[in-house]
Structure 1
Amino acid sequence: MEGIKVTPICALPINKLPKVCVVVGDPNRAKLVSEKMMKESTLVSAVREYHCYRGMWDDTELLVMSHGIGGGGASVCFEELIQAGVTTIIRAGTAGSFDPRYREGSLIIATGAVRSDGVSEGLVPLGYPSISDHEVVAALIESAKAQQEINYGVGIITTVGHFFDGPLGNHNKLWARSRVLAIEMEASILFIIASLRGIRAGCCVNIDNYIFERELTEKYEPNRDIVHQGTIKMLKVALDSAKSLSSSANITPVNANGSN
């Protein structure tokens, strides 16, 4: 990209990209979207876990980019997308369910996230809420309604910074009693960064396990066909929502100090 100004880590060209991006954890999932779902897709950059593609979804040009696992690395992706001029980010990921109504292949649309990500408390106090943008939530709900045979829920999720438990255990039963629907690893840091930078963000997650069954059986099998099919449905929901939001994506982000 000689002669083009790019972001320092992800090498994203600044002010040269579509305004709306669907982000996923796995670089292979970003590649799947690029090769199997979007048309006229091209690779923008591929650095470490950050693989970015641009392409057409129906008649709308969008971005899809991978952010890796965990809030620390994902925050780099989110910040640099914003530096590059992106104004709407939708995370499409996987999660474990606390609610037996939402088993493998179900979709959860997050209205907000409990902040146990291990990253965002370094940006703002924990009393600062981690919430989805209402326009993104509405677009995700409308897209989910339009999908056939998809079981979805809307509500609070929790974001944690670790995957495997240690001696301190976990708070799964507490969150279930608190009507938190699911657990994942990146949404709350996305919501915090989006709020601080003045852009729109949302999140939908495909359920790949029911937490309390997984704890009982000690088996985690995220590669089953029912999960894969749920992932495809989730990606379609995210892409349809991104398309519907693209016409209102001319937003001016704010700097880290809160000024335009």
Structure 2
Amino acid sequence: MKNYAKPGEVLYHVGLSVEMLQGAKYALVPGDPGRVEGLAKAVDPDAVYLACHREFTSWLARVNGEPVLVISSGMGGPCITFIVEELGRLGVTTFIRVGTTGSLQEDLNLGDVVISKACVRMDGAGRAYAPIEYPAVADLDVTIALRDAAKELKVPFGLGIGVTTDSFWPGQERYDSLNGYVVQRLRGTLKEWQALGCTNFEMEAATLFTLCSVHGLRAGAICGVVAKRTDSEAVAPPDVYKMAEKRFQAVAKRALEKLIAVDKT
């Protein structure tokens, strides 16, 4: 039996209650709190601020009349567990991670978007919920909605298997850290993931997919490419960020419209 929140109960970490969500079943989840307002207003110009507690900043938007929560998760898998656990208790059933990423394949360029159909579980938090053999797989309907939205909007995209890590530096085999050291077991992993056809590095999707599958919820992920690891370890300049952001905002909104329309039938 699910442990749903009681009426009037404000959940400890996200600072939200059932009443505040106004029946929202859908959530867009960027990592960065600073990205929430812009995403919410891109989805709905009349979106309203809800709360800010710890790393969880939240706004409420509406898409085709349906309430949609836009809430930051912070960075990494452990933060995602708070989002899924507490929003699930508040009645959210569909989660879409929206963020930035580093591409691993030559044909995924700066400013493109990547839609993840699954992820390699190089995270740690998901192992508290399921053994490593349990796959981190996105919901099919959410993934198709994101793919079709990108096609419809003519946004350049890749669809594939991402790699979720808990470390931005050695976990993604970056050598521009404080001491430049990468432990032996992680050296060569960049080329290995590329050879296996993986599309991108990021830090939240595998945990999101794993937890949502375990809890019987839906999840998808779309990220804008702001680093091209086939070229360098460098993060792109602000103009590329802005282009990627506008693209994933538009695709996320259109995907929500598609999901809501299907869910209402």
TM over 0.5: same fold?
yes
Matched, 1:228 2:242: yes
Q: Partner of 1:244: helix, strand, or coil?
A: helix
Amino acid at match of 1:151: P
Q: Name the structure 2 match of 1:51.
A: 57
1:5 aligns with 2:9: yes
8 Å Cα contact 1:6-1:84 kept in structure 2: no
**TM-superposed deviation, 1:180:** 0.3
Change (3 A) 1:4 1:222: farther
Once residues 243 and 13 of structure 1 are traced to their aligned partners in structure 2, the CA distance between those partners, rounded to angstroms, is 25
* Residue 206 of structure 2 is aligned to residue 194 of structure 1: no
Where does 1:1-260 land on structure 2 (aligned, <5 Å)? 4-14=8-18, 16-57=22-63, 59-148=65-154, 150-165=155-170, 166-168=181-183, 169-170=186-187, 171-215=189-233, 220-247=234-261
Task: Name the CA distance, whole Å, in 1 between partners of 2:241 and 2:15.
Answer: 32
Change (3 A) 1:17 1:45: farther
Indicate conservation of the 8 Å contact 2:40/2:70, yes or no: yes
Structure 1 residues 49 and 158, CA, compared in 2 at 3 Å: closer, same or farther? Answer: same
Q: Deviations over 1:82-105 (max 9, x none)?
A: 111000000111111110100111
- Equivalences, count: 243
Structure 2 residues without counterparts, runs of 5 or longer: 1-6, 171-180
Shift of 1:14: 2.4
Q: Partners of 1:79 and 1:65 in 2: how far apart? A: 14
**CA–CA distance in 2 between the matches of 1:243 and 1:77?**
22
Moved more, 176-185 or 120-129: 120-129
Q: Secondary structure at the match of 1:40?
A: coil
- Identity across aligned pairs (percent)? 28
Contact persistence 1:22–1:242 (CA under 8 A): no
Letter of the structure 2 residue corresponding to residue 164 of structure 1: W
Whole-angstrom distance in 1 between the partners of 2:90 and 2:221: 20
For residue 248 of structure 1, report the CA deviation from its aligned partner: 5.3
Per-residue displacement from partner, 1:181-207 (whole Å, max 9, x unpaired)? 101000000001100110110001111
Question: Displacement of 1:161 after TM fit?
Answer: 0.4
Instruction: Give the distance between the partners of 1:247 and 1:84, measured in 2 at CA.
Output: 22
Q: 2:63 touches 2:256 (CA, 8 Å); kept in 1?
A: no
CA distance in 1, matches of 2:237, 2:70: 22
Which range moved further: 72-81 or 240-249?
240-249
The 2-side partners of 1:82 and 1:227 are apart by 30
> What is the one-letter code of the residue matched to 1:238?
A
Unaligned regions of 5+ residues in structure 1, if any? Answer: 251-260
Amino acid at match of 2:97: R
